[in-house]
C-alpha cells in the first residue's frame, strides 16, 4: 500500500498546502511523515554529521512524502511538537516518524548545551508510538564508549555526558521501533537497546556521471581528513614505492597544516595535496580511475561507514580498501574494488599489477557503476519507508 501512496503523493502535496481545512479522510490518503532532529539543520554543512540529515530530509521529499519537520533549538521544537501532538490527537495520520540523533546527548543539543527540555524529544517519539505511528531513529556514533572519549574530557564532563548517552538509549527502548546504525557491526557496542530491533542504514551517495580522463597510469584519489582515525602515511609510502601510480589527496587546508611536517618527507612528484570542495572536486574525480580508503584498521574502523565511501560509489569509482574495516566487507560483498592487507608492500604490489593489467580496472569499474542506484540517499529513504510503513 505504501508504494501506491508514494506514487500519488506528489500530485496531492500541492492540494494539502492550498487547502489546510480539508477533511481528515483526505489527509490519511496521503503519504506523510514526521522528520525529527533535536537540533537546527544546516543546509551549508560540510561534515558528515551535518550533511547526512539534510540529504535524508531531501530524499524523503524526493520519494514523494509530505514531510512535517521538527528541528531547531529546543524552544522551537517545543512549539512544533505541541502542534503535532494536537493534530495526532485529533485523528491525523502519519506514515511514520524518522529521527536522526546528534553526536551529543539529546538533552544538550541547544547552542548553550544546557538541558532546557531534556525529556521532550524522546517523550514525543513515545507519544507517536502510542498512537500507532512507527518510529525509526538513526543513532549516529558510539565513540563515547571508547577510551579516547574519556581521555580528552575532564572527569566531571565525561561522567555526566556518558550518563546522558546511556539515558537516551534506555528511553529509546520504549520510544523507538527500529534503531538505525551506520552498520550492524556497531550494534555490539550499543547498550540497552535490543539488537533484534537494529538495522543498518549507511550513508548514501548522489549519482554523478563525469567524463573519464583516459590514462595509462593508475590514478588514485582520496578525499577526507589526514589526522586521528584518518592516517594516510602508509598509503602515501606505498604509492611512492610503486612504479608509476599517481595519488591526489584532497583535504582541508587547516588540517593539512597540522600534519604537513609528517607527510612532506614521504611525498614525491607523483603525489599532490589539494584543498577543494563541492563542485571543485569534479575534475579530480574525472581524472581518477580508482579512489582510496587505505587507512589503519581499528575497532572503530570495523563498523564505521564514511560518507566519502558513499561519494566514491556515487561517482562510479572502484575503490582500494584495506582489510579489517566495515568498508572492506562491503567491497568483498559487492565487488566494487580491491581489498588488501594493511601493508605497504601489499598495496604497492596491487598498484603495479593494475598498471600492467589495466583491463582489471575496467572490469571492476563496470561493477562499481552497477551498484550505484542501490546505494543512493533516495534508496536509504525508501528502505526506511518500507520498513516503518509495513502494514499501513
**Cβ-contact 236, 219 below 8 angstroms:** no
Query: Which pLDDT value is given to residue 216?
Result: 75
**In angstroms, how far is the first alpha carbon of the chain from the final one?**
7
CA distance 130 to 346: 55
Query: Which pLDDT value is given to residue 293?
Result: 95
Same domain, yes or no, for 286 and 265? yes
**Cβ-contact 135, 175 below 8 angstroms:** yes
Same domain, yes or no, for 143 and 29? yes
Query: Cell 492550498, residue?
Result: 18
**Along the chain (392 residues), what's the average pLDDT of each consecutive run of 10 residues?**
39 38 40 97 84 96 97 98 98 96 96 96 98 97 90 92 97 98 96 97 92 81 87 95 97 94 96 93 94 89 89 96 94 97 97 95 94 97 92 48
CA distance 144 to 155: 13
Same domain, yes or no, for 36 and 146? yes
Q: Please check whether residue 214 lies inside any domain of the structure.
A: no
Length of the chain: 392
Same domain, yes or no, for 381 and 370? no
Domain interval for residue 14: 2-204+376-388
Same domain, yes or no, for 270 and 143? no
At residue 39's C-alpha, the angle toward residues 177 and 98, to 5°, is 25
Q: Classify residue 320 by burial, with Cβ atoms within 10 Å: 0-12, 13-18, 19+.
A: buried
Same domain, yes or no, for 196 and 240? no
Same domain, yes or no, for 351 and 237? yes
Q: How far is CA 220 from the centre of its chain?
A: 23
Q: Please check whether residue 213 lies inside any domain of the structure.
A: no
Query: Which pLDDT value is given to residue 4?
Result: 39
Q: Please check whether residue 209 lies inside any domain of the structure.
A: no
Same domain, yes or no, for 290 and 333? yes
Same domain, yes or no, for 369 and 380? no
Give the closest residue to 122 by CA, choosing from 110, 132, 107: 107
Assign 3-class secondary structure to the chain: CHHHHHHHHHHHHHHHHHCCCCCHHHHHCCCEEEEECCCCCCCCCCCHHHHHHHHHHHHHHHCCCEEEEECCCHHHHHHHHHHHHHHHHCCCCCCEEEEECCCCCHHHCCCCCCCCCCCHHHHHHHHHHHCCCEEEEECCCCHHHCHHHHHCCCHHHHHHHHHHHHHHHHHHHHHCCEEEECCHHHHHHCCCCCHHHEEECCCCECCCCCCCCCCCCCEEEEECCCCCCCCCHHHHHHHHHCCCCEEEEECCHHHHHHHHHHHHHHCCCCEEEECCCHHHHHHHHHHCCEEEECCCCCCCCCCCCCHHHHHHHHCCCCEEEECCCHHHHHHHHHCCEEEECCCHHHHHHHHHHHHHCCHHHHHHHHHHHHCHHHHEHHHHHHHHHHHHCCCC
Reported pTM: 0.87
Half-sphere exposure of 15 (CA within 13 A, CB side): 12
Same domain, yes or no, for 53 and 85? yes
- Check which CATH number belongs to the domain holding 259 and give it: 3.40.50.2000
Q: Please check whether residue 210 lies inside any domain of the structure.
A: no
Same domain, yes or no, for 197 and 275? no
CA distance 213 to 218: 12
Same domain, yes or no, for 266 and 334? yes
Amino acid at each position: 500500500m505504501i508504494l501506491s501512496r508514494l506514487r500519488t503523493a506528489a500530485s496531492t502535496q500541492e492540494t494539502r498546502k492550498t487547502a489546510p481545512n480539508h477533511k481528515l479522510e483526505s489527509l490519511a490518503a496521503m503519504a506523510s511523515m514526521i522528520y525529527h532532529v533535536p537540533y537546527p539543520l544546516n543546509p551549508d554543512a560540510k561534515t558528515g554529521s551535518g550533511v547526512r540529515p539534510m540529504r535524508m530530509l531531501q530524499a524523503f521529499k524526493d520519494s514523494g512524502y509530505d514531510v512535517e519537520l521538527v528541528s531547531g533549538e529546543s524552544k522551537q521544537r517545543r512549539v512544533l511538537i505541541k502542534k503535532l501532538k494536537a493534530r495526532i490527537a485529533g485523528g491525523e495520520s502519519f506514515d511514520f516518524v524518522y529521527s536522526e540523533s546528534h553526536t551529543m546527548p539529546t538533552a544538550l543539543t541547544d547552542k548553550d548545551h544546557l538541558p532546557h527540555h531534556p525529556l521532550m524529544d524522546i517523550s514525543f517519539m513515545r507519544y507517536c508510538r502510542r498512537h500507532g505511528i512507527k518510529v525509526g531513529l538513526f543513532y549516529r556514533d558510539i565513540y563515547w564508549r571508547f577510551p579516547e572519549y574519556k581521555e580528552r574530557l575532564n572527569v566531571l564532563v565525561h561522567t555526566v555526558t556518558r550518563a546522558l548517552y546511556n539515558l537516551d538509549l534506555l528511553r529509546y527502548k520504549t520510544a523507538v521501533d527500529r534503531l538505525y546504525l551506520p552498520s550492524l557491526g556497531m550494534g555490539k557496542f550499543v547498550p540497552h537497546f535490543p539488537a533484534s530491533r537494529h538495522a543498518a542504514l549507511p550513508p548514501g551517495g548522489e549519482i554523478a556521471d563525469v567524463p573519464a580522463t583516459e590514462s595509462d597510469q593508475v590514478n588514485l584519489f582520496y578525499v577526507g581528513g589526514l589526522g586521528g582515525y584518518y592516517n594516510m602515511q602508509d598509503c602515501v609510502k606505498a604509492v611512492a614505492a610503486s612504479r608509476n601510480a599517481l595519488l591526489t589527496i584532497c583535504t582541508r587546508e587547516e588540517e593539512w597544516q597540522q600534519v604537513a611536517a609528517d607527510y612532506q618527507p614521504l611525498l614525491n612528484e607523483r603525489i599532490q595535496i589539494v584543498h577543494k570542495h563541492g563542485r571543485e572536486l569534479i575534475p579530480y574525480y574525472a581524472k581518477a580511475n580508482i579512489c582510496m580508503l587505505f587507512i589503519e584498521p581499528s575497532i572503530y574502523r570495523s563498523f564505521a561507514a564514511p560518507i566519502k565511501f558513499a561519494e566514491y560509489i556515487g561517482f562510479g569509482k572502484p575503490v582500494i580498501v584495506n582489510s579489517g574495516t566495515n568498508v572492506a566487507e562491503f567491497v568483498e560483498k559487492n565487488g566494487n574494488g580491491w581489498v588488501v592487507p594493511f601493508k605497504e608492500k601489499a598495496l604497492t604490489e596491487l598498484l603495479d599489477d593494475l598498471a600492467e593489467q589495466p583491463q582489471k580496472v575496467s572490469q571492476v569499474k563496470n561493477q562499481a557503476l552497477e551498484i550505484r542506484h542501490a546505494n543512493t540517499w533516495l534508496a536509504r529513504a525508501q528502505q526506511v519507508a518500507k520498513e516503518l510503513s509495513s502494514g499501513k
